[in-house]
A = this chain, B = another copy of it.
Amino acid sequence: MVRKSSRSSSYQRLADDLAQQITTGDLAPGSPLPSERELSDRYKVSATTVRTAIRLLKEAGLVVSHQGRGSFVRLPREKIRRDARDRYNWEKKRAALTEQDRAQWVLQRDATVDPSQIDFSAEFERLPASAELAARFGIVAGTPMLHRIYRTGGPDEHGAYILSDSWLRVDLIESNPALLDPANEPWPGGTIHQLRTVGIEVARIIDEVTGRPPSPDEARALQLHDVGTAVLEIRKTSIDTTGRVVEIATAVLAGDRTELVYTTDLDPW
């Protein structure tokens, strides 16, 4: 007979038990949990119930499992800080340098990653603007747009670390045909410099940030092998000195590996 206890399911009680041992430090980060068979014996529950409990811990980001090895208390992830003000202003300053100076700095914006190990791909397509996109750009639907899709990855230890895409108005950039060719990516100097080549100065960048679970594709690309992680999605809108929207980009980053930093200066009293 099943012993129906108090007001909670047995997998929930098991998960709570283990979670407490993890948060109190009885089970230290990196240490293995008891095997499923052992938990099954010790708690007098079936293997399925044990697996359900462990799945709960994985969903909460407390535990990772490796087939053939065991389940382990998750190690805290070292976070890469991404300071919007520093990053964007640095990119803009760099865009005003000579070609030689810029070339030296290609892809070094994240000093923590060795540039020689970076894996990069770019794919371009030309599409008419959808109604929603047109509204965000303040143009009419159907306007020819350039859609660029990027994947930037590190070596296995760091994992791929950013998925992004970008929309540009073809009419604003076609005076420089080099911008339409993905073979020129990664462009030394970034989008801010690309826009400079057609006479556009970016004056303001607005980031809209949300958090959500990764799609299966994103989990693969960002090397989020396990459940229990979230991604940060940044929708970036760039506005030039005349107030026009000149680029709309989206970036998806691993939430447990990234810390976004935003500084707000307040008006004085």
Question: Does A4 sit within 8 A of B, measured CB to CB?
Answer: no
Q: Complex formed: what's the CA distance from A227 to B57 in Å?
A: 12
Q: Separation in Å of the A11 CB from the closest CB of chain B?
A: 13
A265 touches B203 (CB 8 A): yes
Q: Which of A234-269 contact B (CB under 8 A)?
A: 241, 255-256, 258-269
Given A213-B229, A216-B60; A261-B208 close (CB under 8 Å) = yes
Q: Separation in Å of the A54 CB from the closest CB of chain B?
A: 13
Given A60-B216, A230-B230; A88-B211 close (CB under 8 Å) = no
B268 touches A205 (CB 8 A): no
The interface residues of chain B lying within 8 Å CB-to-CB of A262 are 84, 206-207, 209, 262, 264
The interface residues of chain B lying within 8 Å CB-to-CB of A61 are 212-213
Q: Complex formed: what's the CA distance from A264 to B204 in Å?
A: 6
Question: Does A222 sit within 8 A of B, measured CB to CB?
Answer: no
Q: Complex formed: what's the CA distance from A204 to B268 in Å?
A: 10
Question: Does A147 sit within 8 A of B, measured CB to CB?
Answer: no
B232 touches A211 (CB 8 A): yes
Question: Does A202 sit within 8 A of B, measured CB to CB?
Answer: yes
